[in-house]
């Protein structure tokens, strides 16, 4: 699955604004298929933005330090 760099959050906001304007036009023109497609795109965009915000908050995925294994002493 494609991951979004948190630095792209402002661009995602711009894209959403553009999609909402296009959706308004589609509603005004009664382009039902276009409305459905734009709604689907907005849903995916909002999901990716939420994922990017989680990544920004938690940090990028990487290696997890599990420590060195030890053997019990007798």
CA distance 42 to 3: 17
Spatial contact of 55 and 1, defined as CB atoms under 8 Å apart: no
Give Cβ neighbours of residue 22 (< 8 Å, ≥ 6 apart).
34, 38
Mean pLDDT of 14-41: 97
Domain ranges of the chain: 6-58
The pLDDT of residue 56 is 84
| 30-73: pLDDT as tens digits | 999 999 999 999 999 999 999 989 888 876 566 566 777 778 88
């Amino acid at each position: 699955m494609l991951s979004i760099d948190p630095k792209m959050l402002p661009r995602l906001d711009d894209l959403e604004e553009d999609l909402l304007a296009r959706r308004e036009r589609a509603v005004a023109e009664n382009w039902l298929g276009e409305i459905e497609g734009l709604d689907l795109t907005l849903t995916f965009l909002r999901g990716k933005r939420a994922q990017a915000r989680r990544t920004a908050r938690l940090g990028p995925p990487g290696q997890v330090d599990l420590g060195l294994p030890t053997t019990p002493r007798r």
